[in-house]
Structure 1
Amino acid sequence: MANVDIFVGNETLIDPDVYQLWLDGYTAQETAQILQKRGILQQYGATFDMLLSDTLDHYRNFFVLERYLKNPVLVGDQLLMQISPQTQAMLIEKYYEFDSSVVRELLGKKLTTRQRNALDDVSDKTRVPLRSCRRQFDNVKQVFKTVEEMLGSLVDNIKTHFLLSDHLAKQYAAIVFITNNRFETGKKRLGYLTFPDFVHCANEMITNWSYSSKDCKHHDDMDQDLDRDFLIDLRDLKILSEKEHLDEHRVAVLKAIHGKLSTSAAVELDHNFKNISKTLINVASGLNHSRELRDLFEDFVDKFIDPCKQAKWTQNDVKIFLQAYAEVAQQMHVVRSNSQLLKVWERYTGTISSCLIQMYHP
């Protein structure tokens, strides 16, 4: 007699629209009403009771899956539901996605129980349902707690433990980096900055200023920690504030950008180059102090961006100036003859130029 193996399968159907509404924090009743307004009853010739019953079935599945979604590597191992790999990836990615407006409110704050209990204010301000705000808070906290002490790339660690896309992992990496280094992001004068602004700046600093930077002397390989030796070496840039080097720098920069700036920016730079240059170098030399490091974004806005706005610089003016400011100094003998100073200058100006251009919203 022949032996026959029989397998009966029944793949769990996931409705992406219902799943998204569940993630958005709506109840099953609210979701059914939203779908009704979208015309789904006419599309399938169904009644509202049928739609609500189907929605409740989906919600029961989502609540069962949620315990696995909190530890995404288990989603593929669970045996309660048969879900295709493509659907698994969608479920995980969508679960960890967030509203930029919500995370902007959380950015830089301690992820405490007290903070979670205050999410009503975040919900009211962002108009995102409280349930969704809580899910987003819990996800940010879990990612942070999971990877904060890990060696290696933040992005790679997040992708490995949470199975997220590169794009979403980079956003979480920025959140972890900003939270770990306690950067001030909540002051009123920083309110105009968007979450993407902070993501851009954080990832620039991770790449160029952290222990895992290719220019780091050590091999601690921790993205979330800044290279302390680099921060200390930044004090050496003070030499460019000495009168003879400052004058040389000024003349060379003005020559390099002659005719390229708007009239208002050209006039301002001609009169205030020394103050602008000293500001950028003073910010650098203070970054080895924890307090000044935490205030970096505020210093950028207060000491460079706001004065440039008042002088009616365009974003292109800022871009042209910063490029010339960095490149001209690299050709000065005092910098070119000192390979260590040159590397520190490149690491500093390359990153702040990218950040300042991103943060400059005329």
Structure 2
Amino acid sequence: MMFTEVDVFIGNNTLIDPQIYGYWLQGFMAQEAAKLVREKEFHLLGNIHEDLIISDVLDQFRTFCLLEKYLQSPTMLADQWTFQITSKTQRLLVEKYYDFDDCVIREILGKKLSGRNRKDLDDVSEKTGVRLKSCRRQFDNVKRVYKTVEDLSGNLVHNIQTHFLLPEFLAKKYATVVYIANNRFETNKRKLQYLKFDDFLHCAYEMMTNWSCHNPDCRFEETAMDMDREFLQMLRDLKILLEKEYFDEHKAMVAKSLKGKISDRILYDLDANLKSLSRSIINIASGLNHSKEVRDLFLDVVEKIIEPCKQIRMTRSDMEVFLHNYTEIPRTLEPFKS
């Protein structure tokens, strides 16, 4: 007669070990996770046999796999009866499942959320040091959030919070990622490689806040991920600043306003480059009506604004002072008074 050993765990409330859950999310195999548990909890576990630790980890991993379908639709998690989990634990499960590594998302930014790019995540895994299974989860989460909110009107962060029950800080990060994906911004050119995820997070959030239409009855039927067409049409009026009479007046007023606020050397170099710099700023703004110009926005800003300013050794504070005065002064010019 042959005997088979079977590990059986019986319980009522589903107990979740946050540490083991973290190992599962990171893509570790159960045996690897058990080894890490033994190493980190050596003093607590004492002489507990290795097989018991592996059995516990395997049981936790099985639970996580069964929970995953609910984690992919978080609003279902509270309504299911298979697993009795406290509200606090539910929030932890969802938040950790949708949390992501900035370095992984930086590699995904600007790429289509397609099956082909999902297959290429081996390169992302190798470059970032994040396990492939975790890279795939993060890619799939971004795609799932995008597909859910792409046609919804209203506040993008609120829509993500409503459908995925994420804390505001995480919903904000997802909002910027799907906003970039929707507008197909170029983020992977060589000149943009020095930019971190946080740089794009800041820029995209400012665009979402200031460049999108927040009117639910918008006549253009724009979603929260679209730029406000009326705003973009207004930007075309800025081209009047390139006409000689207004350009000369604008340039003189900007130079006067910067006197004493930045060094004389920077002011001299800026004055010599102001015509081309101003033309670049206005052409970038007025060109945002075209999808190609929108896609190249970050590249254009780096090549045509940031790099020229770096060449004349402007500091961040110099740029802040310059841009503040550059944008405020036209309000006093005749064409813009109305």
Partner of 1:117: 119
Asked if the contact 1:158–1:169 (Cα under 8 Å) also holds between the matched residues in 2, the reply is: yes
Q: State which of 102, 105, 108 in structure 2 corresponds to 1:103.
A: 105
Per-residue Cα deviation, 1:264-311 (whole angstroms, up to 9, x for no partner): 432221211122111111111111111111100000000000111121
User: How far apart in 2 are the matches of 1:262 and 1:53?
Assistant: 68
- For the structure 1 residues 213 and 109, does the alpha-carbon distance in structure 2 shift closer, same or farther, using more than 3 Å as the test? farther
CA shift at 1:35, angstroms? Answer: 2.2
Work out whether residues 262 and 313 of structure 1, in 8 Å CA contact, stay in contact via their aligned partners in 2.
Answer: no
Aligned to 1:178: 180
Task: Return the offset for 1:318.
Answer: 0.7
3-state SS, counterpart of residue 109 of structure 1: coil
CA contact (8 A) 1:107 1:185 kept: yes
Instruction: Report the Cα distance in structure 2 between the residues aligned to 1:183 and 1:105, rounded to whole angstroms.
Output: 13
The root-mean-square deviation of aligned C-alpha atoms, in Å, is 1.7
- For 2:195, the aligned partner's letter is L
Equivalent position of 2:128 in the other structure:
126
Normalised TM-score (structure 1): 0.86
Residues 321, 213 of structure 1: CA spacing in aligned structure 2 closer, same or farther, 3 A cutoff?
Answer: farther
CA positional deviation for 1:18: 0.9
Does residue 224 of structure 2 align to residue 223 of structure 1? yes
Cα 1:266–1:179 change in 2 (3 A) is same
Structure 2 counterpart of 1:253: 254
Displacement of 1:263 in angstroms is 4.7
2:4 paired residue number = none
Contact 1:240 1:246 survives alignment (8 Å)? yes
1:324 is paired with a residue whose SS is helix
Match of 2:74 in 1: 72
- Call closer, same or farther: CA 1:100–1:213 in 2, change over 3 Å: farther
Residue 14 of structure 1 corresponds to 16
User: Structure 1 115/176 Cα, relative in aligned 2: closer, same or farther at 3 Å?
Assistant: same
**Take 2:133 and 2:98, find their aligned partners in 1: how far apart are those partners?**
14
Contact preservation (8 Å) 1:155, 1:169: yes
- Taking every aligned residue pair, what percent have the same amino acid on both sides? 52
Contact 2:150 2:223 in 1 (8 A): no
Which residue does 2:5 correspond to in 1?
none
| Residue of 176, 181, 187 corresponding to 2:189 | 187
User: Are 2:240 and 1:239 equivalent residues in the alignment?
Assistant: yes
Q: What amino acid does structure 2 have at the position aligned with 1:111?
A: L
Q: CA deviation at 1:50?
A: 2.3
What is the Cα deviation at residue 62 of structure 1?
0.6
Q: 1:329 to 1:89 in 2, by over 3 A?
A: same
Within 5 A, what are the aligned runs for 1:1-362?
Answer: 10-38=12-40, 40-45=41-46, 46-212=48-214, 218=219, 220=221, 222-336=223-337, 338=338
In 2: Cα distance, 1:113 partner to 1:294 partner:
22
Cα distance, 1:95–1:67 mapped onto 2, change above 3 Å:
same
Check conservation: 2:270, 2:312, Cα contact below 8 A. Answer: no
The residue type equivalent to 2:74 in the other structure is P
Matches of 1:204 and 1:135, distance apart in 2: 27
* Mapped partners of 2:188, 2:215: distance in 1: 27
Alpha-carbon offset, residue 218 of structure 1: 4.3
- Residue 282 of structure 2 aligns with an amino acid whose one-letter code is I
Q: How far is the alpha carbon of 1:184 from its aligned partner?
A: 0.8
Does the CA contact (< 8 Å) of 2:185 and 2:294 recur in 1?
yes
Q: Distance in 1 between matches of 2:79 and 2:135?
A: 28
Q: Offset of 1:211 from its aligned partner?
A: 2.2
TM-score normalised according to structure 2 size: 0.92
